[in-house]
């Protein structure tokens, strides 16, 4: 990209980053949101699969929208390392998108899992509740409040995830 083109680009992340497509190969679309899409991506150097949330910058209408994306990246870095919170690999930006590369959660949403499995035992429900409350407690202890707690916003790493915490 030439210097002249760069001078006209607004950087949501506050600075120019590496080109995500130099580091990752993009695959199929995993999901669609209001301001972007999530894709399977594979790290070129390792072959490890990740998810990449690509946010369309043109849909970031207000200053608050831009701040929300910045805050999302900051929060993901802040919570990095918790067993039950998706790990961020990196954040990248080009002239059209902000790309957030993160751990792949191939198991789908908790909501889909509940619908697919139907009933669960009281023991499993208690175990799941303990995990969710523990994640919320961790977030709160680090000054982060999740404002949209619902089964659709909890992702499972594996399709056959039974919510067990065993290491």
Q: What is the CATH number of the domain that holds 98?
A: 3.30.200.20
pLDDT for residue 118: 83
Task: State whether 120 and 74 are in the same domain.
Answer: no
Task: State whether 31 and 50 are in the same domain.
Answer: yes
pLDDT for residue 103: 96
C-alpha pair distances (Å), 54 with each of 8, 58, 114, 125, 167 = 20, 12, 27, 33, 32
| Residues forming beta bridges with residue 37, ordered by sequence position | 32, 54
pLDDT for residue 19: 97
Task: State whether 10 and 42 are in the same domain.
Answer: yes
**Pairing state between β 88-93 and 49-56:** unpaired
Task: State whether 96 and 128 are in the same domain.
Answer: no
pLDDT for residue 42: 98
6, 94, 148, 161: the active-site residue = 148
167 falls within a domain:
no
164 falls within a domain:
no
Strands (E), the chain: 24-32, 36-43, 49-56, 88-93, 97-103
Task: State whether 54 and 99 are in the same domain.
Answer: yes
Task: State whether 48 and 114 are in the same domain.
Answer: no
158 falls within a domain:
no
C-alpha pair distances (Å), 35 with each of 59, 67, 116, 140, 164 = 6, 14, 28, 27, 33
162 falls within a domain:
no
Task: State whether 65 and 128 are in the same domain.
Answer: no
| Residues forming beta bridges with residue 84, ordered by sequence position | none
- Cα–Cα distance measured from residue 102 to residue 90, given in angstroms and rounded to the nearest whole number: 7
58 falls within a domain:
yes
pLDDT for residue 10: 78
Domain boundary among 63, 84, 103: 103
Q: How many distinct structural domains can be found in the chain?
A: 2
Largest CA distance in the chain: 62
Q: How many CB atoms lie within 10 A of CB 141?
A: 8
- Cα–Cα distance measured from residue 108 to residue 60, given in angstroms and rounded to the nearest whole number: 26
Going residue by residue through the chain, which has 167 residues, state the pLDDT in tens, using 9 for 90 and above: 333 345 456 799 988 999 999 999 999 999 998 899 999 999 999 999 999 999 999 999 999 999 999 999 999 999 999 888 999 999 999 999 999 999 999 888 889 888 888 888 899 889 989 999 999 999 999 899 888 889 888 888 887 766 644 43
Task: State whether 132 and 149 are in the same domain.
Answer: yes
pLDDT for residue 114: 86
Task: State whether 57 and 80 are in the same domain.
Answer: yes
Active-site residue 6, yes or no? no
pLDDT for residue 5: 43
Task: State whether 94 and 134 are in the same domain.
Answer: no
pLDDT for residue 1: 35
Domain region containing 120: 110-153
Domain boundary among 66, 81, 103: 103
């Amino acid at each position: 990209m030439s210097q002249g083109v760069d001078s006209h680009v607004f950087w949501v992340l506050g600075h120019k980053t590496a080109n995500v497509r130099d580091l990752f190969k993009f695959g199929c679309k995993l999901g669609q949101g209001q301001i972007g899409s999530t894709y399977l991506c594979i790290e070129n150097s390792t072959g490890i699969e990740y998810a990449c949330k690509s946010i369309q910058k043109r849909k970031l209408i207000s200053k608050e929208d831009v701040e929300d994306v910045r805050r999302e990246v900051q929060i993901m870095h802040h919570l990095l390392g918790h067993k039950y919170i998706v790990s961020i690999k990196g954040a990248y930006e080009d002239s059209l998108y902000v790309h957030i590369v993160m751990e792949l959660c191939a198991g789908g949403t908790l909501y889909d899992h509940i619908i697919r499995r139907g009933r669960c035992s009281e023991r499993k429900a208690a175990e799941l509740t303990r995990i969710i409350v523990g994640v919320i407690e961790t977030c709160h202890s680090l000054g982060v409040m999740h404002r949209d707690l619902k089964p659709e916003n909890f992702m499972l790493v594996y399709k056959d995830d039974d919510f067990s915490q065993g290491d």
